[in-house]
Structure 1
Amino acid sequence: MLILRHNTLPSDELFVIECKMLKVADASQPLDGLIDLVLLDMPRTEIYGYMLGLFERLDLCKAIGITSSELLDFLIDVDRGYLPNAYHSFYHAADVTIVLFAMLSDYDAKQYLTSVDMASLLIAALCHDIGHPGKNNNFQVNIQTDLAKRHNNKSVLECYSCTLTMDLLTKHQLLQHIEEASANTGTPTTEAEARISIIKMILATDMIFHYELQENLAGLLEIISDRECTETEKEEGANRECGHGTAGHCKGPQTWDKPRIKDIFYNRNFTNPLLYFESKLHKSISGPIGGSEHPSTPGTITESPATIHGSTNHTGSVNLLQTPDSANDGNCLSPCKLLSKLEREVLCQIMLHAADISNALRPWSICKTWSNLVCVEFFGQGDAEKAFGLPISPNMDRGQTTQATISLKFGDYIVNPYFEIFAAVFPKSDRLLQLLAENRKEWARLESNESAANAGHTAEEGGIEGHLPPKILPDHPILDPAGRRVSTSAGMIVIPSPDEMERRTVGFGKAQRTYWGVRSASHSEVPRQNGPHSYILEEKKRRKSEEPALYLRKLQLNASGRRVSPAEATERKAKRHNSTVPSSASSRQDNKPL
């Protein structure tokens, strides 16, 4: 029976919640089609029951020492912390949580994580956009809201979501028993460590870190492939040929000369968003972390969650930051499989970001519905920027861009490269790439049907080009391509220019994938030595005609939606060119960029 301490719900609603929870939690019954699940039509009671059921199905409440009633109490307050935005609402948070559960269960990601990791991941998913005002970081910084000033213009809304999350964890004392509970599972974790992990996950949802996370994902693919091969050799003998195709060569992490992943929050500069929370965890946490201040500047939070109070008995000094070299620590592997603590932490950040940008590769009806809601917020921000006399952000001018154009660029340049690597790590998720290709055909069809006036003004022409504003970037080196700025549902990102990209191949065998990475990636730019699944980098000196173009130009789609290799695309173009004798006009057309 569910009993609430901080909130009240009618008994009939509690009954509905509990029935749904028990149904979803029943491991003897299959829980299929999570990627196809539509939450927007569900009443709150069903969503609450679904969330509780997911935690119970993986036994995550027990892992952190709470009851389902305590989780429900927390969940209700999380829901109240979300504002009634078109897209960044509690429905989005619950949807991201559903996608993550599918990744854990259906795509086998849980084999690399502990129960505490998974519990922290789902809590971070539920809270990752709490308090979001429906207008992005760039808007907050441009009009210098209270939030932007408080957080030094860095990851403004992510920091605010972290603050509200920590306040709720304190109010509900949700992690006060985690050390004892986690010790029983063989992975002792303090409350401070769990809070740090959740904070990092939420901060990493800032699109500023997209390419860092993509490079870390490629690095994890190498780590997992290398260690799985090593384990196979241990079990079956070093003389047996492993999946790499060579007998007896795999030596584990020590064969690599550089760290293959890095903590994206390693610097100690005062503008690092993580440092805002470090002092909060050096002493006992009592009362709301963020204080009672709530911004009232137009465009920020106009209605704030209720004041949150509570305390926890955890004390101690905490260092939230890792050195870059610590990312290569292969010791202290998890009892579940293969990964160290830092590697599991990075994997959680990668997965939360993947779920946050997953709308493009959901079934078409779901993809289109979420895209509709994204555009409501985008064009609303564009209208507000116009009212403030600000330049309108890319993709947000309702008169100069279209929904189809926004969705095509988002899928081609951001989602596809990221999930190509993700599917190499988790092969069962390959269906997501198939859905992305199917959705692309639908968006292309819609784009072709739009009026010539709208189709002639894309976000690339009407938006602001160049680097992201330096004031919103972290001060440590970060992948900041000199391409065009593009707004996405999760924030603003720069699409790299062709000369900043290079073709990389990661993995081996069925897990081998090719993607276009940013050349300035500090932990990927040096070719690996003696590694069968090392990065294969294209020569940096090449003819202009061979320079890598944007992702879609090289990884084209044929009429059926199948991905065409760059070599095949070049061969087809050559055949088309040689089949006719072009006039001067057609020659100009042939030379036009794709």
Structure 2
Amino acid sequence: MEWPKRNEEAFQRGKRVLQSLECDALSFSSDDLLHLTLEIFLEQEFPKKVNVSEEKLKKFILCVRSCMFDNPYHNWFHAFDVTQTVYCMSLTGETYKTLTDVEYFALIVSALCHDLEHPGVNNPFLVSSRSDLATLYNDRSVLENHHCCRAFQLMLHSEIQLLSEFTNAQYIAFRAVVLNNILATDMARHGEYTTKLKRLTDPNTPPDDRKMDKQFEMEIIIKCADTSNVLKPFDIAKKWAMRVTDEFFLQGDKEKASGMPLTPMCDRTSQGRVALQKGFVDFVIGPYYKLVAAAFPNLTPVFSLLTDNRKAWNNYDDKTLADELGDMY
């Protein structure tokens, strides 16, 4: 795999919004995103700070891209999108100031690798279909454990050796952050995080129990970024809405074809794209974001478009959305 030549116009366009939620991953080519991913590492001077060469970073980023499957949603563009959003949020919330260089590097790497080799179906599907991955990981956070495993297999590969200059202590610290962050993205654990955030923001909770540790904050950030489509400008948000529901419906098709129980949100004959977006904001992610903003006030700016986007969905039905976007998403 060779590092591609840089499209300077696209690179400069991306660089201008690399630290904001206005960066539209879907408006760039796959190669453009390689350069913009590298730029995130270079802007924070990680090659110098953690002794990882730019050449190794290039090899690693190329391998991450090659391990992202061609799904409608969980693909290389999503991997970049989450990485860039984590980067934006870490700067907006000033989280990076509380982290060591190795921890901050681990935060960005965990975002980049958080969906490695995602097959385009969810954990319940893998368990119900008795997949090899479910067997390997004992039905527990199947996808997330696989993403962790593949991430370190890539980093430690003899032709990459991304972490070869790390001391043992640095490696242990780095590995703990990456594993905890990626495992946090399992939506089956969403209630666990919501409960902890409620306790942290409850004035009746003893002060000593309201202390925020930096590992928890990193997990909160990657969880926010993983579901952040609803926080982007609406022109961006609606494209991702089409993609995620495409993937849901493809899973439903597989369930029908295999005679498996049909997951309600994956049934294209009874479920609506717009209704799914509204329900997700109203009942799942909206309440979570409010708790995050209460717990981490510095992050409040990243949630500014949520209410406007939710209102915008009231002007859409599935036909309007499909007619407006056509194949341009």
TM-score range with shorter-chain normalisation? Answer: 0.7 to 0.9
* 1:148 match: secondary structure: helix
CA distance in 1, matches of 2:295, 2:7: 38
CA contact (8 A) 2:134 2:142 kept: yes
Aligned-partner Cα distance in 2 for 1:53–1:220: 35
Q: Which amino acid aligns with 1:173?
A: Q
Q: Unpaired runs of 5+ in structure 1? A: 1-6, 25-29, 181-188, 226-252, 262-338, 451-594
**Residues 254 and 137 (structure 1), Cα distance of their counterparts in 2 relative to 1, 3 Å cut:** closer
Task: Say which of 175, 181, 186 aligns to 1:195.
Answer: 175
Question: Which secondary structure does the structure 1 equivalent of 2:313 belong to?
Answer: helix
**1:20–1:53 CA contact under 8 A, matched in 2:** no
Matches within 5 A, 1:527-538: none
In the alignment, is residue 87 of structure 1 matched against residue 73 of structure 2?
yes
1:162 aligns with 2:32: no
Q: CA–CA distance in 2 between the matches of 1:347 and 1:105? A: 13
Other-structure match for 2:228: 358
The residue that corresponds to 1:397 in the other structure is 267
Q: Does 1:173 align with 2:153?
A: no
Deviation at 1:126, TM superposition (A): 0.6
Structure 2 vs 1, CA of residues 119 and 40 (structure 1 numbering), >3 Å: closer, same or farther?
Answer: same
Larger CA deviation: 211-220 vs 65-74: 211-220
> Aligned partners of 1:177, 1:37: CA distance in 2, in Å?
33
Q: Which residue of 1 aligns with 2:325?
A: none
TM-fit CA distance, 1:398: 0.6
Identity %, equivalent residues: 30
Is contact 1:179–1:190 with CA below 8 Å preserved after alignment? yes
Tell me how far 1:64 sits from its aligned partner. 2.2
Q: Does the Cα contact within 8 Å between 2:72 and 2:246 map onto a contact in 1?
A: yes
Mapping 1:467-546, distance limit 5 Å: none
Whichever structure has more strand as a proportion of its residues is 1
- Aligned residue for 1:560? none
Identify the residue that residue 71 of structure 1 maps to in structure 2: 57
Aligned amino acid, residue 57 of structure 1 = E
Q: 1:44 aligns with which of 30, 53, 57?
A: 30
Confirm or deny: 8 A CA contact 1:109 1:426 kept in the other structure: no
Give the deviation of 1:201 after TM superposition.
1.1
- Residue of structure 2 equivalent to 1:213: 193
- Out of 12, 37, 42, the position equivalent to 1:56 is 42
C-alpha distance in 1 between matches for 2:31 and 2:318: 41
Alpha-carbon shift at residue 443 of structure 1 (Å)? 1.5
Matched, 1:382 2:230: no
Deviations 1:325-374 (A, max 9, x none): xxxxxxxxxxxxxx6xxx22221111111100111121101110001000
1:124–1:83 CA distance, 2 compared to 1 (3 A) = same
- The whole-number CA distance in structure 1 between the counterparts of 2:298 and 2:50 is 29
Whole-angstrom CA distance in 1 between matches of 2:210 and 2:105: 26
- Distance apart, 1:109 and its partner CA: 2.4
Unaligned runs of 5+ in 2: 321-329
Which one is further off, 371-380 or 432-441? 432-441
Rg larger in 1 or in 2? 1
Instruction: Please say if 1:440 is aligned against 2:310.
Output: yes
Among 85, 98, 105, the alignment partner of 1:119 is 105
Name the Cα RMSD after superposition.
Answer: 2.7
Aligned in 2, Cα 1:254/1:179: closer, same or farther, shift over 3 Å?
farther
The Cα of 1:429 is off from its aligned counterpart by 3.8
In structure 2, distance between residues paired with 1:60 and 1:33:
16
| Superposition TM-score, scaled by structure 1 size | 0.50
**Residues 137-169 of structure 1, C-alpha deviation per residue, up to 9 Å, x if partnerless?**
111111101111111111111111111111011
Question: What does the per-residue CA deviation read over 1:475-504, in whole Å, with 9 as the maximum and x for residues that have no partner?
Answer: xxxxxxxxxxxxxxxxxxxxxxxxxxxxxx
Q: What is the CA distance between 1:447 and its match in structure 2?
A: 4.0
Question: Which residue is 1:250 aligned to?
Answer: none
CA displacement, residues 51-105 of structure 1 (integer Å, 9 cap, x when unaligned):
1111121222323210222111100001001110000001101000111111111
TM-score (norm 2): 0.87
In the other structure, the counterpart of 2:324 is none
The CA distance in 2 between the partners of 1:260 and 1:425, in whole Å, is 9
Partner of 2:121: 135
TM-fit CA distance, 1:40: 1.4
The runs of at least 4 aligned residues of structure 1 exceeding 6 Å deviation read none
Give 1:408 deviation, angstroms.
0.5
Distance 1:32 1:90, change over 3 A: closer
Distance 1:254 1:162 in 2: 35
Find the partner of 2:86 among 76, 85, 100: 100
- Which structure carries more helix by proportion? 2
Letter in 1 for 2:82: V
Q: CA deviation at 1:432?
A: 3.8
Distance 1:68 1:102 in 2: 21
8 Å Cα contact 2:185/2:226 also seen in 1: yes
Classify the secondary structure of the residue corresponding to 1:130: coil
Over 3 Å counting, the alpha-carbon distance change for 1:31 and 1:436 in structure 2 is: closer
Q: Which has the higher contact order (CA 8 A, sep 6+)?
A: 2
Q: Classify 1:448/1:74 alpha carbon distance in 2 versus 1 (closer, same or farther; 3 Å).
A: closer
- Report the CA distance between 1:192 and its aligned residue: 2.5
8 Å Cα contact 1:64/1:116 also seen in 2: yes
Q: CA offset at residue 215 of structure 1?
A: 3.4
Distance 1:215 1:72 in 2: 39
Q: Secondary structure at the match of 1:82?
A: coil
